[in-house]
Amino acid sequence: MALWTKIQQLPPGSWQQIYGDRDIFPIEVRHYLASYIEEKFCLDIEPQPDNPQHEQFIANLVNSLITEIENRAAIVNDSDYFLTKLKLAEAAKQLRVRYGSNPMQLFNLIRDRLAAEMRLIQTAGIDNLAGLPNIMMSNSGAEVLQKVNVLRSRTQGTAEDLRKMESELESFALQYHECSKISAHLQTIISQPNAQLPANVSKLQKQKESLEQILNQKLAGLMQMRLALGEKLKETYQLLAQLQTQVLDEELIKWKRDQQLSGNGATFTSNLDTIQDWCENLAELIWLNRQQTKEVERLKSRLQVEYPPVVADVLPQLVQEFTQLLSTLVTSTFIIEKQPPQVMKTNTRFTATVRLLVGGKLNVHMTPPQVKVTIISESQANMLLKSDKLGKSGESSGEILNNNGTMEYQQNTRQLSVSFRNMQLKKIKRAEKKGTESVMDEKFSLLFQSQFSVGGGELMFQVWTLSLPVVVIVHGNQEPHAWATVTWDNAFSEPGRVPFTVPDKVAWNKVAETLSLKFRAATGRGLTDDNLRFLGEKAFRGSQNENSNSLLTWAQFCKEPLNERNFTFWEWFYAIMKLTREHLRGPWVDGAILGFVRKRQAEELLGGCHCGTFLLRFSDSELGGITIAWISDTGEVFSLQPFTSKDFAIRSLADRIADLNHLVYLYPDIQKDVPFGKYYTPYQDNPPTNNNGYVRPTLVTQIPGFSSGHTSFANTPQHILVQSPDPTRDTPSVASSSATTINTQMDSSTGMLEPLDELYLDTFDIMGYRS
């Protein structure tokens, strides 16, 4: 607790600013667990949010901290510390509720507080820093916290100056009243006709002159104080405006951008509670300085003395500027915490959450505001941003059910928000299409609107915010293209753009990064440089330059079909990603699937391998297909017709590989049971029976002409469909067959050969009992 010991040597006003809001992180916790916090949270390494091990470590660390707080509260039995016991117990409860689902946020908060303490000690010039932790918060977080502390100190100083000014004004008023009495008395004496002047007239006149001199001095002092306060408030306004720009235009915009990128699979570590803390501090400081400016104006009216002609009165303008600053803060912090789905299907339930970051601090929840949701088109969003109006009252581009909600304040988390849990898009109005445009290219946005007052009705705010672009579909087969539109928009939209413009061409290295993010989010493992090189060649139709800055057009990405294919690059990639996510995730994460390899390259890789060596690659010709290429005992390389999701719904890839005994080694020389054994379906000696008493058959993959470890029953008829090898291809083709006893549940196409670069060999025998 060396750091906390040093902190307690500082003036209370300095370090109390760090822990001023005890709801965020109570100072009692910092005090009674000082040693524990400094030992556990002052790490030499910086945890990475992308690292699952680091995430688990932080979750355990935060949980242990809360448990330690609960233990400390439990052992406090002294009646003198009863309030401390209650505060610690309440702190543990609040921390668990607020940060239980986001331990990284509490970890970063504590680290920022420790870094702020170190900064205070260094600023105070305390010697002998040996033994103190070497910890620093993020530059932006430290800078914001420091500026907040400076502004809070200035605001407190202004409040003290106001008290002095009011005291001086009261003293001036008393002396002015006394001087007025003397003047009136003298005037009465002098105005009496033929009256002999009293002996004390001279004394009264001297008192009057003395008081007038004092009053003139006080008046000059008050004028100077008022001018100084005006200048100080003006400087405070400028500092507040700069800090607000940093918080809103940098930190909050970055949060929104990270939220958008998370739609493409990027890791999103939300620091929204920290941003709310900053915004609440800003709201409080702006409101206090606005009130102080109005107070200076009030005192000025009591003084009833005009400024000299050469001095401008900045106070009326300052009140307006503080009001506008507060208005910008309020409207900018009405944000969408949980975005609606960006690919939205009609007549399907969806959710969204809206939050007002400064609602609690400004007591907006005292009269809970209503929030309304509508869907608007791209042109309507443009109109809204240009004029702050939609045009026709209530104009929208569709009908949403359950689109009204009331914001609620959660005392535990200090959040004012509303969650729409049962919204549903019933109708959509589309714009006319031009050229090659399709409905999946059209972007909409959900508009959230509300209004409320603050300061007892003194200020009224109308707020609105737009969701990320939404593509509306009515059929599931529109989903791939819709996701292409959303992915391109999320990745390549520019800050402050006109809704919802995106570049038509993007450097390949940026596209590659996006594809890898998408694939990792969907399948658990990203793409290697070799994978991305393969994708680049495919996207550019084999004409990609070595330069990774080659520009890929939107048309190449998802409009124009690939060479000699009837599908686009994105459709091919999306189908592969979907297949891997649904059926191949385990082997892909393990690295057992080579995947992005061309047929010719697969032949070259297998050419020098042992007989029975095989590899798995994604099909170039079949959407969402994966093929097995292997080298036979004759040295020839064969390829199975690709398996698709339909096939894996019947029998998994691992089980199919286990069925084929001539597949021995996974490339380059790994026994196949090593990578795939853990995914095999366990064999059962007693086949399970259905409720109707029939024995359930097991389907086994076979290749006619190649040995298999499974034996079909002798009387099982087999209709073998043989097709001659394609003479235009180097890789030999192999015929496939399908047992007729599989019945109509088996699509005969799974056993048919297609005139493609790969041949599919899939024979299913029924391994079971004859009835």
Span 122-131, mean pLDDT? 57
pLDDT value at 708 more than 60: no
Contact indicator for 560, 568 with CB cutoff of 8 Å: yes
Q: What digits encode the pLDDT tens for the residues 29-76? A: 878 887 788 777 766 556 665 566 677 788 888 888 888 888 888 887
Identify the CA nearest to 464 among candidates 336, 360, 366.
336
Q: What is the pLDDT of residues 454-492, one digit of tens each?
A: 888 889 999 999 999 999 999 989 999 999 999 999 999
Q: How far is CA 234 from CA 68, 227, 286, 501, in A?
A: 47, 11, 12, 39
The answer as to CATH 3.30.505.10 being correct for domain 625-767 is yes
On the question of pLDDT at 532 being above 90, the answer is: yes
pLDDT reading at 504 higher than 90? yes
Residues 135-160: what's their mean pLDDT? 80
Decide if pLDDT at 7 tops 90. Answer: no
Query: In the CATH hierarchy, which fold is given to the domain comprising 505-574?
Result: Recoverin; domain 1 (1.10.238)
Asked if pLDDT for residue 545 goes beyond 80, the answer is no
Q: In the predicted model, what is the mean pLDDT of residues 103-117?
A: 79
768 confidence band (pLDDT: 50, 70, 90) = very low
pLDDT value for 139? 60
Query: Are 652 and 698 within 8 A, CB to CB?
Result: no
166 Cβ partners below 8 Å, 6+ apart? 299
433, exposed or middle or buried, with CB in 10 Å at 0-12, 13-18, 19+?
exposed
Q: 10 Å Cβ neighbour count for 666?
A: 23
Region 2-137: CATH code: 1.10.532.10
Summarize pLDDT for 511-530 with one digit per residue, the tens.
999 999 999 999 999 999 99
Report the alpha-carbon distance of residue 272 to residue 463 in Å, rounded. 19
pLDDT for 137 beyond 60: no
Give exposure, 442-470, as e/b (b: 16+ Cβ within 10 Å): bbbbbbbbbebebeeeebebebbbbbbbb
Q: Give pLDDT, residue 749.
A: 37
pLDDT(748) > 50: no
Q: Long-range contacts of range 593-599, CB-CB < 8 Å, 24 or more positions apart?
A: 593/626, 594/667, 595/531, 595/626, 596/527, 596/530, 596/531, 596/534, 596/535, 597/534, 598/534, 599/629, 599/639, 599/731, 599/757, 599/758
Q: Which residue's entry shows tokens 């420790």?
A: 114
pLDDT class of 764 with cuts at 50, 70, 90: very low
Question: What CATH class is the domain 333-430+437-492?
Answer: mainly beta
Bigger pLDDT: 548 vs 159 = 159
Q: pLDDT, tens digit, for every residue of 289-322?
A: 999 999 888 887 776 656 554 445 678 889 999 9
Contact present, 620 and 598 (Cβ < 8 Å): yes
CATH fold, domain 143-192+199-329, is: Glutathione S-transferase Yfyf (Class Pi); Chain A, domain 2 (1.20.1050)
Reading the block at residue 637, the tokens are 């390389």
- Whether the CB-CB separation of 761 and 693 falls below 8 Å is answered with no
Estimate the share of the chain in helix, then strand, then coil, as percent rounded to the nearest 5.
50, 15, 35
Looking only at the bridges linking them, the beta strands covering 471-473 and 343-345 are parallel
Phi, psi of 591 (to 5 degrees): 85, 15
pLDDT digits (tens, 9 = 90+) for 432-462: 877 677 888 999 999 999 999 988 888 999 9
Domain ranges of the chain: 2-137, 143-192+199-329, 333-430+437-492, 505-574, 625-767
**pLDDT of residue 720 exceeding 60:** no
Q: Are 573 and 535 in contact (CB under 8 A)?
A: yes
Identify which of 656, 659, 601, 664 has the alpha carbon closest to the alpha carbon of residue 632.
664
Same topology, domains 143-192+199-329 and 333-430+437-492? Answer is no
The Cα 177–Cα 185 span in angstroms is: 12
Residue 22 has pLDDT above 60, yes or no: no
pLDDT at 26 over 90: no
CA gap 273, 262 in Å, rounded: 18
The pLDDT score that the predictor gives to residue 184 is 82
**Which pLDDT tens digit goes with each residue over 580-617?**
999 999 999 999 999 999 999 999 999 888 999 999 99
Q: Whole-angstrom Cα distance, residue 761 to residue 420?
A: 51
pTM for the model: 0.76
Mean per-residue pLDDT over the chain, rounded: 81
Give the pLDDT of residue 655: 93
pLDDT at 643: 93
For the stretch 185-238, pLDDT in tens is 777 777 776 555 666 677 777 887 888 888 888 888 888 888 888 889 999 999
Any residues with CB less than 8 A from the CB of 359 and at least 6 apart, and which?
365, 407, 409, 416
Q: In what order do the strands lie in the sheet with 370-377?
A: 404-406, 370-377, 444-454, 459-466
